[in-house]
Amino acid sequence: MASIRDIAKEANVSPGTVSRVLNNDPTLSVAATTRERIHDVAKRMQYQKVSRKNKTIQIITYASRAKEMSDPYYREIRLAIEAEVTRLNLSLKRTIRIDGSSGVVDFDKVEKAGAIIVVGNFSEAAIIELQAHNNNIVVINNPNTPKSIDAVYSDLHYAMTTLLNEIEKMNLKRVAYVGGTHTVRNLAGEAKLYNTDPRYEAYTAWCEDHHIDALPIMSGWEQEDGKLAVQRFIAEDTLPDVLIAGNDMVAIGILQQLQSENIKLPDEVKLVSFNDLEVIQYAVPSVSGVHIPVDEFGRTAVRMAEERINKTRKIAIHVVVEAQLNERTTFKTMH
C-alpha cells in the first residue's frame, strides 16, 4: 500500500504537505494545482487513509453521583472499570447519568465514544435505542439484555436456588427473604416499577416446590428496611432459622437489629447476604455472603468493549460470572 512518503516523492512535495492536503487541513495555503496533483497521485497509487481508533469509553449509568458515592455496588463497578481502562491504555469520558434529574441524553456524546458501557436497570427499549447510536455497547448486570447485545452478569436465580439447597441439607425449615422491588428506567430517566427480582422469584419457587411457607418481606434495599423486617418478624413471632438479605445494606440493618434485640448469630438465627461487597465483609460478627463479583463485571465489560473497538469480535456474547457463597461466622454449611 502506498505511503505518505511515496505520494510526496511522486508529487514532488513534502510529506507534511501531502498529509495536510489529504486530511483537508483548512489552515494550509497551497496552490490548487498542487492540491489536485497530490489527490491524483494518491488515487493512482491507491492510497488508503488509516483511520485512528477511537479508544474512548463512555459509561452510561442509572446511578446519580450521590448514589454512586453512597452505594458500594455502583462504586466498586466504577473503580473496576477505571482500573481496566487504564491498564488497556483506553480513556474514559465523563459519565452520562440517566437518573431522572439529568435531562435528555446527549446522543452526540454517545455516538462520539469508541464504545459505551451501560450500568443499571434500563428497559430493553432503552438499550436498543442506545445501540442504534453506538453499536459498540456492553451492558452490565442486566440478564434481560437482548442476545444481540454484549452483556455481563451473574445468574442470581441459580445462585439463590443453590443457597437454598444447601440450607435444606442443614434441615433448616424456616427461611425468610428480605429485599425490595426494582425499577427500570427509560432514556428520559423515568422509572417504572419492575417487580421481578431473580432472588425473590427463585426463593418463592423453591419454597413452593419444597412445600415450605415463604416468608418474604419486600420493603426495600436500605439498611432501615433490614431493621424493620427483624422488628416485624419479632412482633409477629415468626423469627426464622435463616434470614437471606437481598443486598448488603439490608444485611447490615438485619445484623444491627438482631444485636439490639440480643438475638445471637448464628446460634439463634443465621444470616446470609447477597452481593458480599467490602461493606459487609468486615462486620462483627462476620457475615456470610453470596459474592456477586461486580469488580469482574467492570473488568470484563471493558475488555469486551475493547474487542468491539478493535473489531476483533463481531458477534454478541453474554458472559455469566459465577456467584459464590463465602462462608463466615453467621452461616456455615455442613461441608
CA nearest neighbour of 139 among 324, 297, 306: 297
| pLDDT digits 0-9 by tens, 99-155 | 888 778 999 999 999 999 999 899 999 999 999 999 999 999 999 999 999 999 999
Percentage of residues of the chain with pLDDT beyond 70 = 99
The answer, yes or no, to whether residue 228 has pLDDT greater than 80, is: yes
| pLDDT digits 0-9 by tens, 58-90 | 999 989 999 888 888 899 999 999 999 999 999
Confidence at residue 51, expressed as pLDDT on a 0 to 100 scale? 67
> Residue 287: how many CB atoms within 10 A of its CB?
26
Question: Please, which residues have CB within 8 angstroms of residue 332's CB and are 6 or more apart in sequence?
Answer: 266, 288
Q: Work out the mean pLDDT of the chain and round it to a whole number.
A: 93
The answer, yes or no, to whether residue 171 has pLDDT greater than 80, is: yes
The residues facing 281 across adjacent strands are none
CA nearest neighbour of 10 among 53, 43, 56: 43
Map residue 30 onto helix, strand or coil.
coil
pTM of the entire predicted model: 0.84
Is the Cβ–Cβ distance between 288 and 332 less than 8 Å? Answer: yes
Burial bucket for residue 216 (CB in 10 Å: 0-12, 13-18, 19+): middle
Confidence at residue 27, expressed as pLDDT on a 0 to 100 scale? 84
| pLDDT digits 0-9 by tens, 279-315 | 888 899 999 999 999 999 999 999 999 999 999 999 9
The answer, yes or no, to whether residue 335 has pLDDT greater than 80, is: no
